[in-house]
């Protein structure tokens, strides 16, 4: 009982510290999200690799944009998806949205429909939304052999084979590229069954925490490029900005989010230093008392 009483001030102090940290973080993030700052920024080889690979996709081969993300990773995957879709529309690369997460294709539909309306692109010709299918190995194998036969209809119930964009697509060989936008470990599927079996190029847009796992595949050229989290989206936005036909409109500008993440990283580093300083000062004081 007495222990509980003696511990209480420490717990109260910890709670107070947490609240102060929460308030500082929320305040700084809000400021950096509201105001745009120009900070030095370099485009890495991973984002450039993906951008250049998309540019090289033949116009008659659609890109399969796999959206396996849900609102939980909105902050990172939404700007990545928006950057990729704007690139496809600007470069006139037809694409098909697909997902093995039930929510991903619905989120992609909203972005694609908005951008298509803005840039004057047509559903069925420039883009389609195949929708969600549960992740099952037989379905993936079926897609590699007979894509319209396995997936049959788009999200609106239209036969895929009747859509102009899908007319030349019979198997995974007829796809120009697959890009997986995801917070999950789904990359292996596309590498094993699409890149490994039929040679379809694979691009990857994971959340920042998932990115380290993809480096071996980048070195072995099993993936052509990667957008790592919000940094990847900001890099891709910078590349899009350099296009002569750049007509961009963002719901969530990636560079602004990047600056907010920037200040959060700096705060974390400062807190680690402060925490360690406090720890060593206490440690030394205890040793002196002993």
Residues that bind other proteins (CB under 8 A): 14, 17-18, 21-22, 25-26, 29, 39-42, 44-45, 70-75, 103, 106-107, 110, 133-134, 136-139, 141-142, 145-146, 149-150, 208, 212-213, 215-216, 218-219, 229, 231, 258-259, 261-269, 271-272, 274-276, 279
| CB closer to other proteins, 91 vs 184 | 184
Minimum CB distance to other proteins, residue 172 (Å): 12
| CB closer to other proteins, 125 vs 141 | 141
**Cα 234 to Cα 58, 171, 288, distances in angstroms:** 25, 33, 51
Minimum CB distance to other proteins, residue 128 (Å): 17
Q: What are all long-range contacts of 278-283, with beta carbons under 8 Å and residues at least 24 apart?
A: none
Answer yes or no: are the C-beta atoms of 47 and 236 closer than 8 Å.
yes
Minimum CB distance to other proteins, residue 274 (Å): 7
Minimum CB distance to other proteins, residue 286 (Å): 14
DSSP 114-169: HHHHHHT--BTTTEEEEEE----HHHHHHHHH-HHHHH-B-TTS-BGGGSGGGTT-
The Cα angle at residue 151 between residues 194 and 120, in degrees rounded to 5 = 90
Q: Tell me how far apart the alpha carbons of residues 216 and 45 are, in angstroms, rounded to a whole number.
A: 15
Nearest Cα neighbor of 50 from 218, 255, 244, 246 is 218
Those residues with Cβ within 8 angstroms of residue 190's Cβ, 6 or more apart along the chain or in another chain:
66, 178, 180, 200, 202
| CB closer to other proteins, 91 vs 135 | 135
| CB closer to other proteins, 57 vs 194 | 194
| CB closer to other proteins, 1 vs 38 | 38
Minimum CB distance to other proteins, residue 157 (Å): 9
For residue 83, the 8-state DSSP code is H
Minimum CB distance to other proteins, residue 82 (Å): 14
Q: Are strands 225-226 and 63-67 parallel, antiparallel or unpaired?
A: unpaired
| CB closer to other proteins, 90 vs 263 | 263
| CB closer to other proteins, 29 vs 161 | 29
Minimum CB distance to other proteins, residue 285 (Å): 16
């Amino acid at each position: 009982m007495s222990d509980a009483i003696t511990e209480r001030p420490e717990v109260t102090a910890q709670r107070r510290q947490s609240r102060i940290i929460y308030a500082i973080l929320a305040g700084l993030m809000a400021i950096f999200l509201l105001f745009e700052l120009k900070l030095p920024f370099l485009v890495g080889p991973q984002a450039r690799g993906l951008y250049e690979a998309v540019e090289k996709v033949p116009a008659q081969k659609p890109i399969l944009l796999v959206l396996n993300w849900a609102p939980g990773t909105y902050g990172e995957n939404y700007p990545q998806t928006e950057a990729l879709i704007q690139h496809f529309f600007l470069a006139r690369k037809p694409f098909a949205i697909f997902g093995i997460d039930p929510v991903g294709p619905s989120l992609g539909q909203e972005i694609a429909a908005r951008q298509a309306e803005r840039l004057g692109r047509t559903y069925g010709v420039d883009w389609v939304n195949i929708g969600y299918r549960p992740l099952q190995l037989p379905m993936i194998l079926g897609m590699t052999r007979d894509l319209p036969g396995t997936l049959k209809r788009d999200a609106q119930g239209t036969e895929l084979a009747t859509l102009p964009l899908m007319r030349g697509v019979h198997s995974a060989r007829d796809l120009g590229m697959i890009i997986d936008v995801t917070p999950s470990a789904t990359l292996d599927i596309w590498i094993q069954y699409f890149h490994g079996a039929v040679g379809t190029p694979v691009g990857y847009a994971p959340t920042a925490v998932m990115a380290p796992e993809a480096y071996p595949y980048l070195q072995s050229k099993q993936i052509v490029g990667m957008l790592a989290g919000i940094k990847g989206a900001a890099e891709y936005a910078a590349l899009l900005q350099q296009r002569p036909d750049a007509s961009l409109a963002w719901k969530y500008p990636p560079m602004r989010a990047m600056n907010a993440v920037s200040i959060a990283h700096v705060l974390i580093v400062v807190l680690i230093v402060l925490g360690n300083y406090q720890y060593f000062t206490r440690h030394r004081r205890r040793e002196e008392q002993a």
